[in-house]
Structure 1
Amino acid sequence: MKNSSGGNFFSLPNEVFLLGLSPGELAVYSFLQRCENRKTHQCWPSIKTIGKAVGMSENTVRKYIRQLEERELIATEPTEVITKTNGKRNGNLLFTLRPIQEVVNEYYARQLENVELAAERQRIAKLTQERETPA
């Protein structure tokens, strides 16, 4: 996109900052957002391209991609390319970025579930302590 001053820019959803992403996760996710096709929510930059853009080694980029997958912000699929000699080889990963509001809603649901579990544990611990303490 071009803004009125003529510079290139892309939009990063504010909700991303509610998820507690590490700086590395945020950098890789931001680059994927920049590359994303807004209609399909997909892109396929190479690991090398991502690494150059965010100043990380390819192994570090792979680590953050795995973490973003675990957080369910993105999904990846392997692709294949046909060479000039009709051979097949691995292509870049195809990245699909999930709608951020879905991710945020799931994040808050997990947080609420954790709070409810902690409250239940405390209630059980209190009951157990009351039963074990002689009157």
Structure 2
Amino acid sequence: MPVRSYDHAKRDPIKNYFPLPNEIFVLGLNAGEIAVYAYLLFCEDRVTFQCWPSCRSIGRATGMSVNTVRKYIRSLEAKGLITTEPTTITDRHGRKRNGNLLFTIRPITEAMEQYYEEQLRSQPKRPA
């Protein structure tokens, strides 16, 4: 029996994929930062641009420790790609506890502007 090739016409680009901006490859991100950023994009609500996966969930999906995930989250924040907000939950006994971070994916154009501004500031000044 002949081997059938995969029928590309059956793929649903909206359901089975998420967009990853080309610009992330200009920003000098390392593989870990790209993996965490890609996972956040995978989880995000396409209307609010927010998601709240735990660092443990991100670590499981990317093969990283929780501490490494936290390091990359701080780096993505510093590069202007995401913002984070702490959340709280109320347990069944009425006690407030820390929840997962609420991640907001920022527009890639803002991160690009920040990157270019930092590049210009780091250029040595030429004598006049």
TM-score interval, normalised by the smaller of the two chains: 0.7 to 0.9
| Aligned alpha-carbon RMSD (Å) | 1.7
SS at the partner of 2:110? Answer: helix
Could you say which residue in structure 2 is the equivalent of 1:66? 74
Unaligned runs of 5+ in 2: 1-8
CA distance in 1, matches of 2:105, 2:71: 17
- Within the alignment, does 1:5 sit opposite 2:11 as a pair? yes
**Greater than 3 Å deviation, 4+ residue runs:** none
- Which has more radius of gyration? 1
Question: 8 Å contact 2:80–2:110 — kept in the other structure?
Answer: no
SS at the partner of 2:120? Answer: helix
CA distance in 2, matches of 1:109, 1:57: 32
Aligned residues: 118
Unaligned runs of 5+ in 1: 125-135
1:91-102 to structure 2, matched below 5 A, reads 91-102=99-110
Residue of 80, 86, 99 corresponding to 2:94: 86
Scaled by the length of structure 2, what TM-score is found? 0.85
User: Kindly, what percent of the aligned residue pairs are identical?
Assistant: 54
What is the CA distance between 1:109 and its match in structure 2?
2.2
